[in-house]
Chain A
Amino acid sequence: MALADGDVPRTRTAVRTFAFTRFRYESVVALAGLAIVWQIVSLFVPHFLFPSVPEIAARLVAIFTSWNSIFDIFATSARILAGLAGAFVCGTLLAVPMARSPAFERYVYPLLNFNQGIPALSWVVIAIIWFRGNEFRIFFIMVMTTLPGFTFQVLDAYRAMSKDLFEMTLAFRPTRFDLLRTLIWPTVLPGILTAWKVNLGNASRVVVVAELVGATGGVGYELLQQQQVFDMAGAIAWTLVLVLFVLIVQGIITLIETRALGYRAFAEHAS
């Protein structure tokens, strides 16, 4: 049954249905609005600066119908996801002992802060000098640039765990695994999903820089090719491919978030 305006979903099924409906409409409307604005601007500006939406769409079709281009998209996507996964694992491995040991945190925190001040381009140069393989270079750059974000967010999520709920769960004498499954994981999950969403945007920017400099394939490499032939439609089409990838992954994360954490927004709404 559909919910009327102002109704608050009470059950898990209602929360999931409501969250999915909201996700679909808002995303489509926002993107369609952007395309309309771009098309209007392209009518008044030279096409080599602002190519029309149909022109860009044609380039997009060309990209998605070429196996080489699809391989480039796949390569960039895999690099982003591998880099994020690596940073997530390393960040979690750092965050948990930091949360449990103030002494450890006092040593690691300044190092992470120091790392945050290093520009992505510096990591690119360092990686090129230090390592041989292109893929490992990109992986290293991705991990180093997104590591602090994951670490701080997982750390904050761990620390936000309710002492009351922790004591209540301990009173039932859970095993370590059960404590992790029933309390710690649901508590840190919002922070982890936020970390993935935030770092996904960062990673997509960094991967392009890394590919521009060191790769022989991928979206960054293709963007470099478009720049050399001064092809604005191609540059935008490749950019859109990357944006599309980020939006798809963001959408998947948002869907997971609204389904797994649906109780949260409505709990706040109801209170």
Chain B
Amino acid sequence: MTTMGSGTPEILFEGVSKSFPRLDGGPVFEAIRDLSFAVGRGELVAILGRTGCGKSTTFNLISGLIRPSQGRVAVQGHDPYGDFAWFRGKIGIVFQSDRLMPWRTVIENVALGLELNKMPQKERLDLAASWLARLGLSGRENDYPHALSGGMRQRVSIARAFAGKPDILLCDEPFSALDEHTGNALREEFRELLRQTGATSIFITHSIEEALWLGARLMVFERPARIAYETVLRTDMSETERQAVRDRIRQVLSVADASN
């Protein structure tokens, strides 16, 4: 199944499969099977699925951390795994855990991507400070990550991803490790930031509500990662329509569960 997003494809999967060998020599683990989809420039796509359905493998393929076993992955027309250096400064990632470097202060963590992109020190620290201020962390620039709460740390990792003004933003369940209150507060800010930057965004989640609330386009994966259901969410959808989407997603996920 191939589904095109609006505009020029920014992210393209063509017949992608990904298997992992088992250390005990058993049969390979098939994480993705013949997955095809396209994401247009500036599009926001939420990928939803149960744990182990291959969402994170898809994420790692887009970010170029792994290469496909079969098929082709193209991001802005380039191979994200093979054209390693070409993507410098073009992709921002917010991970499930904050992944802050404990030996760097908060501002140095935010400035990491800018530093690796060879931005002059003063410029990158000013920019990092402005992002910290934007995310409500003024005054904590010189703290080490251990001095921050979980929510603050995730804000720092969001600032790190956004600071480089990436063309493509990848988010792997960024709020799942936070408590409900903190997660909700941060989600609001995050959606606003996504709107402002206009980056092509892939948001991976296992929460139906989060996907409905955030995604303009929604893809539901079943295991091994294939698109079992896809829809485009309009901002003017009525609650009845949204409930119908919810019910359909639950039905797809329960079918996927039963078949596994």
Contacts and interface: CB of A to CB of B under 8 A. Distances in A.
Interface stretch (B36-44, B86-94, B221-229): B86-94
A173 B85 CA distance: 6
A261 interface: yes
A12 B101 contact: no
Given A8-B147, A173-B87, A264-B102, A178 B142 contact: no
Interface in B57-113: 60, 63-65, 84-85, 87-89, 91, 93, 95, 97, 99, 101-103, 105, 112-113
A11 B112 CA distance: 18
A266 interface: yes
B93 A263 contact: no
A261 B101 CA distance: 12
Contacts, number: 77
A68 interface: no
Contacts of A267: 102, 144-146
Contact of A171 (B91, B97, B102): B91
A159 to B, nearest CB: 16
A182 interface: yes
Contacts of B144: 10-12, 15, 263, 266-267
Given A173-B84, A173-B87, A178-B116, A168 B143 contact: no
Interface in B13-66: 60, 63-65
B213 to A, nearest CB: 26
Contacts of A168: 93, 95, 99
A173 B84 CA distance: 6
Contact of B143 (A11, A165, A261): A11
Interface residues of A, number: 29
Contacts of B143: 10-11
B75 to A, nearest CB: 12
A264 B144 CA distance: 10
Contact of B103 (A8, A10, A175, A263): A263
Given A12-B105, A164-B99, A263 B115 contact: no
B117 interface: yes
A270 B146 contact: yes
A261 B117 CA distance: 26
B65 A171 contact: yes
Interface string A156-190: 00000000110111111111001000110010000
A13 interface: yes
A266 B143 CA distance: 12
Most chain B CB atoms below 10 A, which of A172, A186, A271: A172
A12 to B, nearest CB: 6
Given A164-B99, A165-B99, A182 B112 contact: yes
Given A11-B105, A12-B144, A270-B146, A167 B65 contact: yes
A14 B91 CA distance: 35
Contacts of B101: 165, 182-183, 186
Interface of B: 60, 63-65, 84-85, 87-89, 91, 93, 95, 97, 99, 101-103, 105, 112-113, 115-117, 142-147, 164
A-B residue pairs, 3 tightest by C-beta: A267-B146, A10-B147, A173-B88
